[in-house]
Homo-oligomer: A and B are copies of this chain.
Amino acid sequence: MRRLLDAAMTAIDERGYHGTRVQDVVDIANTSHGTFYLYFSNKEDLVRALTVEAASQVTKMSRAMTEAGSSLRLESWEELRKWVAGYSALWSQYAPLFRSWTDLVAIDDGVADQIRRMVLAHRDAIAERVADVDGPPVVDPAVAGMAVIALLDRFHFLREFVGEPVDDAALDSVTTIVHRALFPAALSGERGKA
């Protein structure tokens, strides 16, 4: 079962969700057709399972931001950088899935709901952090949260797409961009050469 999930990730990575046949998955997992349907009732069921996994990781991230006792201060460039790095690592881990989001939400309502909840929770978590900062909010925190998610998600996709996968330098720059966008008052503290 784990083998099938991993194989699915590999297959989706190589050929995209639609390009992936059940046959491809079981070939990679070195098992048979029948076995696949022993564990998953169909292709969507498999991708639903993968989505639950990925979404729960992202949700864990959001929760870590907001839960009591958390001391994450996004307005600190250093802490924001770490958070960005965390997101980036997650994206890389589930890249095939994140890349297929657009597809998936159109195919299966269950998956769409999962992802919608995840996005909204993440957005709200960021919004809360942004609104927390001293001084009057100058942009709608909900918009800011969504913008950050949009930026981070798509930036990874596009950089891969144009053949320049995200590296540490890119993450430094992206962090600075996000930092400036969210906390314009806190110009000091940025790493000089970002």
The residues of A with any CB-CB pair to B shorter than 8 Å are 15-16, 18-19, 99-103, 105-107, 112, 115-116, 119-120, 138-140, 143-144, 146-147, 149-155, 157-159, 161-162, 169-170, 173-174, 176-178, 180-182, 184, 187, 190, 194
Using known A-B contacts A154-B154, A184-B180, determine if residue A194 contacts B162 with beta carbons closer than 8 Å: no
- Determine the distance from Cα of A162 to Cα of B124 in the docked complex, in whole angstroms: 13
Residue among B101, B116, B157 making CB contact with A162, cutoff 8 Å: B116
Chain B min CB distance to A180 (Å): 5
Interchain CB contact under 8 A, A116 and B161: yes
Chain B min CB distance to A101 (Å): 7
Interface centre among A100, A120, A153, A154 (most CB of B within 10 A): A154
Interchain CB contact under 8 A, A139 and B173: yes
Q: A16-B107, A100-B102, A150-B158 are in contact. List 11 more A-B contacts (CB 8 A).
A: A16-B106, A18-B106, A102-B157, A119-B162, A138-B176, A144-B173, A147-B151, A147-B177, A151-B155, A180-B181, A180-B184
Interchain CB contact under 8 A, A103 and B103: yes
Across the interface, which residues of B come within 8 angstroms of A170, CB to CB? 140, 143
Using known A-B contacts A18-B18, A106-B19, determine if residue A149 contacts B140 with beta carbons closer than 8 Å: no
Across the interface, which residues of B come within 8 angstroms of A147, CB to CB? 151, 155, 173-174, 177
Interchain CB contact under 8 A, B120 and A162: yes
Across the interface, which residues of B come within 8 angstroms of A16, CB to CB? 103, 106-107
Interchain CB contact under 8 A, A102 and B105: no
Chain B min CB distance to A117 (Å): 10
Using known A-B contacts A102-B102, A151-B154, A161-B119, determine if residue A139 contacts B18 with beta carbons closer than 8 Å: no
Interchain CB contact under 8 A, A119 and B158: yes
- Determine the distance from Cα of A176 to Cα of B143 in the docked complex, in whole angstroms: 11
Nearest chain B residue, comparing its CB with the CB of A14: B106
